[in-house]
Structure 1
Amino acid sequence: MEQRVLLCDTTLRDGEQAPGVEFDRPEKEKIARALVEAGIDELEVGVPAMGEEEAKRISQLVALKLPVRLITWNRVVLEDLAASYRTGVEGVAISLPVSEQQIKHKLRKDRAWLLEQMGRCVRDAKKEAGYIVLGLEDASRADIAFLKEIIKEAQKLGVDRIRFADTLGIMEPLSIFFKLQDLTREADIPLEFHAHNDLGMATANSLAAVQAGFKALSVTVGGLGERAGNAALEEVAVALKYTLKQEVRLDLKRLNSLGSLVSSLANRQVPRAKPIIGGDVFTHTSSIHIDGIQKDFANYETFPPESVGRKHSTAFGKHTKYKNVVWLLKSKGIDCNQDKADELLRKTLAKIEQLERPLEEDEILGIVLSS
Structure 2
Amino acid sequence: MEQRVLLCDTTLRDGEQAPGVSFNGPEKEMIARALADAGIDELEVGVPAMGSVEAKKISQLVALNLPVRLITWNRVVQADLLASYRTGVEGVAISLPTSEQQIKHKLRKDRGWLLEQMGQCVSEAKKEVGYIVLGLEDASRADLDFLQEIIVEAEKLGVDRIRFADTLGVMEPLNVFFNLQDLARSSKIPLEFHAHNDLGMATANSLAAVQAGFKAVSVTVGGLGERAGNSALEEVAVALKYSLKQEVKLDLKRLNAIALMVSSAAGRVVPRAKPIIGADVFTHTSSIHIDGIQKDFANYQTFPPESVGRKHSTSFGKQTKFKNVVWLLKSRGMAHDQETVNQLLNKTLDKIDQLDRPLEEEEILGIVLSS
Under TM normalisation by the shorter chain, which class is it? over 0.9
Deviation of the 1:184 alpha carbon: 1.1
- SS of the counterpart of 2:260? helix
Q: 2:4 maps to what in 1?
A: 4
Unaligned runs of 5+ residues in structure 2 are: none
Preserved CA contact (<8 Å) 1:151 1:186: no
**Which residue of the partner structure matches residue 330 of structure 1?**
330
Q: Which residue of structure 1 aligns with residue 15 of structure 2?
A: 15
* Residue 49 of structure 1: aligned partner: 49
How many equivalent pairs are there?
A: 371
Question: What is aligned with 1:104?
Answer: 104
For residues 179 and 113 of structure 1, what CA distance do their matches in structure 2 show? 27
Tell me how far 1:339 sits from its aligned partner: 1.3
Mapped partners of 1:97, 1:160: distance in 2:
19
- For residues 179 and 367 of structure 1, the distance between their equivalents in structure 2, rounded to whole angstroms, comes to 58
- 1:135 aligns with 135
Determine if the alignment matches structure 1 residue 281 to structure 2 residue 281.
yes
Q: Which amino acid aligns with 1:13?
A: R
Code of the residue aligned with 1:104 in structure 2: it is: K
**Over 6 Å off, 4+ runs:** none
Shift of 1:185: 2.0
- For 1:70, what is the secondary structure of its paired residue? strand
In 2: Cα distance, 1:178 partner to 1:98 partner? 20
Match in the other structure for 2:85: 85
Shift of 1:337: 1.4
Distance 1:184 1:283 in 2: 40
2: distance between equivalents of 1:185 and 1:301? 36
Aligned to 2:211: 211
**TM-score, normalisation: structure 2:** 1.00
The aligned counterpart of 1:290 is: 290
Q: 1: distance between equivalents of 2:143 and 2:363?
A: 59
Matches of 1:187 and 1:177, distance apart in 2: 16
Distance 2:196 2:294 in 1: 39
- Distance across 2 between alignment mates of 1:336 and 1:35: 46
- Tell me, in whole angstroms, the C-alpha distance in 1 between the residues paired with 2:330 and 2:48: 59
Q: How does 1:1-371 map to 2 (within 5 A)?
A: 1-371=1-371
Q: Distance in 2 between matches of 1:15 and 1:149?
A: 30
**Cα displacement string for residues 81-130 of structure 1 (whole angstroms, at most 9, x for unaligned residues):** 00000000000000000000000000000000000000010001011111
Tell whether the 8 Å contact from 1:152 to 1:186 is kept in structure 2 after alignment: no
Structure-2 separation of matches of 1:5 and 1:301: 25
Give secondary structure in 1 for the equivalent of 2:81: helix
Q: Deviations over 1:31-57 (max 9, x none)?
A: 000000110000000000000000000
Displacement of 1:355 after TM fit? 1.1
Q: Determine if contact 1:253/1:307 at 8 Å carries over to the other structure.
A: yes
Render the CA deviation track for 1:253-309: whole Å, top value 9, x for unaligned.
000001000000000000000000000000000000000000000000000000000
Q: Deviations over 1:200-227 (max 9, x none)?
A: 1000000000000000000000000000
Question: Are the equivalent residues in 2 in contact too, given 1:95–1:135 (CA < 8 A)?
Answer: yes
CA distance in 1, matches of 2:319, 2:280: 17
CA offsets, 1:312-358, max 9 Å, x none? 00000111111101111111111221111111011001111111111
CA distance in 2: counterparts of 1:181 and 1:336, whole angstroms: 59
Give the letter aligned to residue 142 of structure 2.
Answer: A
SS in 1 for 2:325: helix
3-state SS, counterpart of residue 326 of structure 1: helix
Cα distance in 2, alignment partners of residues 102 and 130 from structure 1: 29
Equivalent position amino acid for 1:126 in 2: K
> For residues 37 and 356 of structure 2, what CA distance do their matches in structure 1 show?
42
Q: Counterparts of 1:164 and 1:336 in 2: how far apart (Å)?
A: 59
Cα contact 1:27–1:265 (8 A) shared by 2? yes
Which amino acid counterpart does residue 331 of structure 2 have in structure 1? S
What SS does the corresponding residue of 2:46 show, helix, strand or coil? coil
RMSD: 0.5
Give the counterpart letter for 2:354 in structure 1.
Answer: Q
Q: Secondary structure in 2 aligned to 1:334? A: coil
Contact 1:15–1:229 (Cα < 8 Å) also in 2: yes
**DSSP 3-state at the match of 2:134:** strand
| Alpha-carbon separation, structure 2, partners of 1:175 and 1:275 | 24
The AA in structure 1 aligned to 2:14 is: D
**1:38 aligned partner, one-letter code:** A
Whichever residue aligns with residue 146 of structure 1, its letter is F
User: One-letter code of the match for 1:112?
Assistant: G
Counterpart Cα distance in 1 of 2:240 and 2:184: 19
Q: d(CA) in 2 for partners of 1:325 and 1:81?
A: 63
